[in-house]
Amino acid sequence: MTHQKRDPEPKGLVCPNCGCRHFYVVYTRPRAEKILRRKECRYCGRRVTTTEKVVGAE
pLDDT for 55 equals 79
Question: Contact at 8 Å (CB) between 13 and 21?
Answer: yes
Other CB atoms within a 10 A radius of the CB of residue 42 amount to 13
pLDDT of residue 6: 63
pLDDT for res 57: 58
pLDDT, tens digit (0-9, with 9 covering 90-100), for 4-55: 666 666 678 999 999 899 999 999 999 888 999 999 999 999 999 999 988 7
- Global confidence as pTM: 0.70
CA distance 34 to 39: 16
Q: Residue 23: what pLDDT?
A: 95
Q: pLDDT grade, residue 3 (50/70/90)?
A: low
